[in-house]
Amino acid sequence: MNILAFFTSNGVPVTGLTPTIRIRDVADNSLVVTDAVMPEVGDGNYKYDYIGYDLHKDYAIRCDGGVILPINERYTFGGNENYIEDIETITLAISAGVKENSDDLKRILGLVHENIFIDNPVYDSDGNMTSARLRIYSNPASVGTASDVIGTYQITAPSTAPGEFTSWKQVRTS
């Protein structure tokens, strides 16, 4: 897994550094990489190829650009914020109750904004959209047409002032 770091001095990207990286396994706080050198990619970017990466573990990462940098720009840090177990659990739950090519699965993908189309907007006197139709499609080539629609929803969003809605409702109509 490539880990990237970006270093600046007074906001300007810095090249020619020899930054180092430390990686800790969050489960036991152990150092799994200690001060390894990060090769330059260019334009202030540096990388480290962590070949020991385990996607089931959480890591804390600290990169040190070196003493040449101002102290407030010397270090960069991050983590992998690993949610793989959550994704695996959701995937198992979906596959247990939803067939791979079913409309239910396509509807789930649509609700996460894959192959959707919003039209028929209605606006109030303040220019706020108060309602619209949202359709989910099974085929990306059909988005915006009457073909391959697997779900239609009515959106309503009443408002009280310009740019302010009081609620948002999305109800399946077909």
Q: For the segment 38-93, what is each residue's pLDDT rounded down to a tens digit?
A: 999 999 999 999 999 888 888 889 999 999 999 888 999 887 765 555 555 555 65
Which residues lie below 8 Å from residue 165, measured CB to CB, with a gap of 6+?
128, 130, 157, 158, 159
Q: What is the pLDDT of residue 5?
A: 92
101 has a pLDDT exceeding 80: no
Instruction: Choose between 13 and 82: higher pLDDT.
Output: 13
Domain membership of residue 20 (yes or no) is: yes
What residues make up the domain containing 167? 99-172
CA dist 128 and 123 (Å) reads: 5
Q: What is the pLDDT of residue 120?
A: 92
How confident is the model over 29-38, as a mean pLDDT? 96
Q: How many domains does the chain have?
A: 2
Burial category of 110 from C-beta neighbours within 10 Å (exposed 0-12, middle 13-18, buried 19 and up): buried
Domain membership of residue 149 (yes or no) is: yes
CA dist 120 and 156 (Å) reads: 12
How confident is the model over 23-44, as a mean pLDDT? 94
Q: What is the pLDDT of residue 21?
A: 96
Reported confidence tier of residue 159, pLDDT bands at 50, 70, 90: confident
Q: DSSP alpha helices (H): ranges in 6-147?
A: 71-74, 84-97, 103-111
Domain membership of residue 116 (yes or no) is: yes
Q: DSSP alpha helices (H): ranges in the chain?
A: 71-74, 84-97, 103-111
Residues 104 and 72 reside in one and the same domain:
no
DSSP helix/strand/coil, 130:
strand
Burial category of 94 from C-beta neighbours within 10 Å (exposed 0-12, middle 13-18, buried 19 and up): middle
How confident is the model over 134-159, as a mean pLDDT? 88
pTM, entire model: 0.49
How confident is the model over 145-157, as a mean pLDDT? 89
Give the torsion sign (CA, 35, 36, 37, 39). negative
- Residue finishing a domain among 79, 107, 135: 79
Please say whether the beta carbons of 9 and 73 come within 8 A.
Answer: yes
Domain membership of residue 86 (yes or no) is: no
Please say whether the beta carbons of 134 and 124 come within 8 A.
Answer: no
DSSP helix/strand/coil, 149:
strand
19 has a pLDDT exceeding 60: yes
CA dist 8 and 45 (Å) reads: 9
Domain membership of residue 87 (yes or no) is: no
Q: What is the pLDDT of residue 37?
A: 97
How confident is the model over 135-153, as a mean pLDDT? 88
Instruction: Choose between 165 and 2: higher pLDDT.
Output: 2
CA dist 165 and 115 (Å) reads: 25
The pLDDT tens digits for 107-140 are 565 556 677 888 998 888 888 888 999 888 878 8
What residues are paired with 79 via a beta bridge?
A: 60
